[in-house]
Amino acid sequence: MKGNMVIKDASQLVTCSGFAAKPGKEMSNLHIINNGAVVIEEGIITAVGISEDVLSDFDESGFEIIDAKGKAVLPGFVDSHTHLVFGGYRAEEFSWRLRGDSYMDIMQRGGGIFHTVKSTRQATKEQLVEAGIRRLDSMLSFGVTTVEGKSGYGLDFSTEIKQLEVMQNLDELHPVDIVKTFLGAHAVPEEYRSRDSQYIDYLINKVIPEITKRNLAEFCDVFCEENVFSIEQSRKLLSKAKEMGLKIKIHADEMVHSGGAELAATIGATSADHLLQASDKGIRDMAETGVVATLLPGTAFSLKEPYARSRYMIDHQCAVAIATDFNPGSCYTESIPLIIALATLYMDMTTEEAISALTINGAAALDRADTIGSIDVGKNGDVIVLEFPSYKYIPYHIAVSTVEKVIKRGNLVFDNIERGG
C-alpha cells in the first residue's frame, strides 16, 4: 500500500541527496536541511525542503502527519549484503572459533556452509518463510527498508529455487523490500566434490536458465576464494549469468588476495563484497570502473580478521557501501548500529561516510540508487526518524538502535514509541 504522509519540523533532514553512487569525498556530503520537511504522496516523495517553505500553502488534509521536532530524519537504511533465508543455526561453531578453529577449517571438515545446506534442504518453505519474517521484523526495527538476500544454502536445483521462492514470498508479505541474488556458487556441494568445474557448468546449464525464465533473481554472485571457486571459474559463471540477463556481484578477496577485485572491475560487476585482502590495483580498478565496494565489518569482527581498508578505498575514489552480511555462520547479526560502530571506530570511516555507505551507496550496490537511498523528489518514501536531534547520535550510542519510526512508501511500519520502547 502506498501512503500519503508529511514529516515536518525535523531538526535535521539528512537527505543524502543523489541518484548514483557517491565516490570518495562525495560520501562526506549528507545534504542536510535544518527544520526540514518531506511530503510523500502515493508512496513517492513529492517535496523536500525547509518546513515553512514546503508547507506554507500546503493542504495537509488526507495526509498522516509526523511531527519530527527535535528529531533527525534520514533515508531508510539499505542492507546490501545478507543471507537471510536459511535453515538451522550454528551456535556450536561459534564456540569452536572461540577456541581457535578457523572458518575455512570448519568448512573443510563438513561444517560451516555445509551444515546450513543440510538444514536448509530439510526445511519446508513454510518454515523458511516464518523464520524470514522474524528476521525481517528485526531488520526493520533497525531502520532497514531494503535488504539484499542471497540463496546459496541449497547447492542443488530444488533448494536454490526454494530459497529464491521464499524470498519472493517474503517480499510480498513484509514491508521491507528484498533484492534477490542467486549464490549457487557459494561452495562446492558434497556430490560434486573434486568436480568443481562440472558444478559451475551445472549451474550455468541447469539452474540459471530456470531462475531467469521465472525472474527469481536480479543478481548472480560467486564465492571467489582459495579452495572454493577460482578466478577463471568465477569469470565463466558470471559472464554466462550476465549473458542470460542477471546483474553481477562477487564475494572477492575475503580470506586471501586472489584477484577478485580486479575481476569485478573487468567483468562489470555492480559490487564487489568483503575485500579484506583486496590489492591496491584492484581497488583502483574498481574506482575507475564504478564498482561499489561493499564492506562487511561485522564479519571481520566476528571472525577476528583484519578489517577491509575503507580509508584507502575512499581516499582513492571508491564508492563504499557497508552491510551486515547477516548469516548463520560468520556474522549472525542484523544490527545496523553495530555495523556503524565498527565502521567508525575500527575502519577509520567518518560518521558521514558511514551514513552514505548505508543509504545512497547501499542502494547503488543494488542498482537502485535511482529509486531509494536518499530523500529526493521522485524516490520512494522510505524514511526513518531518530529519537535524537542529530545523525551523530547513531555511532555515539554505541551499537544501540536510535531509530524511533520507520516509514515505507509513506506508511508508518515501525514505531518504537507504540511498542513501548
* Distance (Å, whole) CA 373 – CA 15: 9
Q: Kindly tell me the sign of the dihedral angle through the C-alpha atoms of 188, 189, 193, 196.
A: negative
* Distance (Å, whole) CA 347 – CA 311: 7
- Say if residue 420's pLDDT is above 60: no
Nearest to 274 by CA among 294, 244, 260, 292: 294
Q: Tell the CATH superfamily of the 78-365 domain.
A: Metal-dependent hydrolases (3.20.20.140)
C-alpha cell at 219: 543478481
* Distance (Å, whole) CA 174 – CA 198: 37
The backbone torsions φ and ψ at residue 114, rounded to the nearest 5 degrees and listed phi first, read -65, -35
Are the C-beta atoms of 379 and 372 separated by less than 8 Å? Answer: yes
- Say if residue 417's pLDDT is above 90: no
Q: What angle do CA 345, 348, 353 make, to 5 degrees?
A: 100
**What pLDDT shows up at residue 174?**
98
Q: What is the mean pLDDT of residues 8-35?
A: 98
Domain 5-76+374-415 top-level CATH class: mainly beta
Convert 60-73 to b/e letters by CB count within 10 Å (16 or more is b): eeebeebebeebbb
Are the C-beta atoms of 357 and 27 separated by less than 8 Å? Answer: yes
Q: What is the mean pLDDT of residues 149-178?
A: 98
**What pLDDT shows up at residue 419?**
64
Q: What is the mean pLDDT of residues 3-18?
A: 98
Give yes or no on whether 5-76+374-415 and 78-365 have one common fold: no
Half-sphere exposure of 269 (CA within 13 A, CB side): 30
- Say if residue 421's pLDDT is above 60: no
Mean pLDDT for the chain?
Answer: 96
Percent of the chain at pLDDT > 90 equals 91
**What pLDDT shows up at residue 97?**
81
Domain ranges within the chain, ordered by starting residue? 5-76+374-415, 78-365
- Say if residue 85's pLDDT is above 80: yes
Overall size of the chain counted in residues: 421
Nearest to 140 by CA among 360, 374, 352, 411: 411
* Distance (Å, whole) CA 363 – CA 368: 5
* Distance (Å, whole) CA 303 – CA 146: 26
DSSP of 286-313, one letter per residue?
HHHHT-EEEE-HHHHHHHT-PPP-HHHH
Half-sphere exposure of 96 (CA within 13 A, CB side): 16
* Distance (Å, whole) CA 94 – CA 221: 25
Beta bridge partners of 181: 150, 219
284 vs 197, 313, 360, CA distance in Å? 30, 8, 21
**What pLDDT shows up at residue 416?**
92
Q: How confident is the model at residue 28 (pLDDT cuts 50, 70, 90)?
A: very high
**Mode of pairing for the β-strands spanning 144-150 and 177-185:** parallel
The one-letter amino acid at 258: S
pLDDT one-digit tens code per residue, 348-378:
999 999 999 999 999 999 999 999 999 999 9
Whether the model clears a pTM of 0.75, i.e. scores above it, the answer is yes
Nearest to 237 by CA among 200, 198, 272: 200
pLDDT one-digit tens code per residue, 88-146:
998 888 888 888 888 777 777 767 888 899 999 999 999 999 999 999 999 999 999 99
The cell 542467486 sits on which residue?
Answer: 182
Nearest to 192 by CA among 208, 182, 183, 203: 203
Q: What is the mean pLDDT of residues 21-31?
A: 98
- Say if residue 227's pLDDT is above 80: yes
**What pLDDT shows up at residue 110?**
66
* Distance (Å, whole) CA 40 – CA 52: 16
C-alpha cell at 208: 540459471
Question: Left (φ > 0), alpha (ψ -120 to 50) or beta: where does 180 sit?
Answer: beta
Q: What is the mean pLDDT of residues 169-188?
A: 98
Beta bridge partners of 415: 405
pLDDT one-digit tens code per residue, 381-413:
999 999 999 999 999 999 999 999 999 999 999
C-alpha cell at 98: 572461540
